[in-house]
Amino acid sequence: MTETTLDWMALANRKPKGKRPSYFADPQNEELYSILLSLVGEVSVMRQRLDTVERLLEAKGSISRADIEAYVPAGDAAAERSDMIREYILRVMRGPMQAIQAMTESAPPIDTVVDELINS
């Protein structure tokens, strides 16, 4: 821990100068989405830590917190971890990714299909 008198935890959050664009119709959604994306990021951080613990335990049997902190993925581990994060992002972003496909699909509402099948 450093001896700095700065409250770095709070200062890290400082807002950049300039009016923030709004993206959603409801302003509260801006903040809710920022919380949601940060949470998505934190789950990824936890998964990496767990992956680190698993890899170190497998290699060494018994580990310390210092071992975990010092871990640097290399070679296959780095590539596998890259895949792990990519796969994780794709999974949590299922909704928007499916929205892309929906834009190019000219599918009728399910009610239409239900009616169609009754009579065919």
Q: Does 115 bind other proteins (CB under 8 A)?
A: no
Q: Does 34 bind other proteins (CB under 8 A)?
A: yes
Q: Which stretch binds other proteins (CB under 8 A): 55-63, 69-77, 112-120?
A: 69-77
For 4-35, b/e burial (b = at least 16 CB within 10 A) is: eeeeeeeeeeeeeeeeeeeeeeeeeeeeeeee
The tokens describing 35, both together, are 């919380």
Among 26, 28, 62, 72, binds other proteins (CB under 8 A): 72
Contact between 60 and other proteins (CB under 8 A)? no
9 binds other proteins, rule: CB under 8 A:
yes
State the alpha helices, DSSP H only, in 1-120.
8-11, 27-60, 65-70, 76-92, 94-103, 110-118
Candidate ranges 6-14, 55-63, 107-115; the one touching other proteins (CB under 8 A): 6-14
